[in-house]
Structure 1
Amino acid sequence: MTLAPGLRAQLLIMVEVSDTAQKIGSGDVPVLATPRLLAIAEMATVNAVREHLAPGETTVGTRVELAHLAASPVGTHVQITTELTEVDGRRLVFGFEARDKRTVVGRGTIERVVVDRAKFLDRATR
């Protein structure tokens, strides 16, 4: 495992109807849903470290802090950038920011823990 602060990843999405609060059920407006924003930010954290994990390892989310600051209607392009800011043993802390062409849409931190995939799944299915 070669994890060190500074690892980064970016994802660019266009908000689709399937991404909206109305569709997901987290609200009744046709803008990017907060749970969807979080899911995309988590995808970016996974992408940032995937190539740096040992065979058989993965990461799982353990803590999130998210500020959803602006609405993004259908058709808006949103770029999510994440950076690994802290490595404490198996604990990883990422900062992330989501932006459209006008403003910061959201920001926050995501904590993940490195686990052995097989052992984790074995414990989870008992």
Structure 2
Amino acid sequence: MTVETGMRGTASLVVRDFDTASALGSGDVDVLGTPRLIALCEQATMVALADELSAGVSSIGMRIRVDHLQPTPVGAKVTAEAVLDKIDGRRLTFTVTVSDSGGLIAAGKITRALVDRASFLDKCCSA
């Protein structure tokens, strides 16, 4: 496993009706919903780590601080970029930015923790 600061990942999508605040229940307007924007940011962090984690190791989201600055309409393409800024033991902190054709629409930090997948799943309560 080779995880180093400076690693980057990107993820893009074209905003569809099911990505909107109205559809996600996070608002009542038909623009990119913040929950979908955050999922796109997390996807970018996963892309950054995709080829670097050992078998049986995963990363889990633990802290998200994102400012959603501008609305993006249905049909627009958005791209999230994640850059690994800090490694503190098992904790990885990424700076994330999201842009559309008009420029920056969101920025923030996402912290993920490296975990042993099997041990982590063993901690789940059964329903």
Q: TM-score range by the shorter chain?
A: over 0.9
Please name the residue that 1:93 is paired with.
Answer: 93
Moved over 4 A (4+): none
Please name the residue that 1:72 is paired with.
Answer: 72
Counterpart of 2:18 in 1: which secondary structure? helix
Please name the residue that 2:53 is paired with.
Answer: 53
The one-letter code matched in structure 2 to 1:19 is: D
Please name the residue that 1:119 is paired with.
Answer: 119
Query: Any idea what the Cα deviations from partners look like across 1:64-110, whole Å, max 9, x if unmatched?
Result: 11100000010011111111111111100000100011121101000
Contact 1:50/1:58 (<8 A) preserved:
no
Please state if 1:104 is matched with 2:104: yes
Please name the residue that 2:35 is paired with.
Answer: 35
Shift of 1:125: 3.0
Cα RMSD (Å): 0.9
Alignment of 1:3-14 (within 5 A): 3-14=3-14
Counterpart of 1:67 in 2: which secondary structure? strand
Shift of 1:12: 1.6
Query: Any idea what the Cα deviations from partners look like across 1:16-69, whole Å, max 9, x if unmatched?
Result: 001000000000000000011001100110111121111100000111111000
TM-score (norm. length: structure 1):
0.97
Give unmatched runs, 5+ long, in structure 2: none
Please name the residue that 2:83 is paired with.
Answer: 83
**Of Structure 1 and Structure 2, which has the larger fraction of its residues in helix?**
1
Q: Tell me the distance in 1 between the aligned counterparts of 2:122 and 2:39.
A: 24
Counterpart of 1:22 in 2: which secondary structure? helix
The one-letter code matched in structure 2 to 1:38 is: I
Bigger shift: 116-125 or 20-29?
116-125
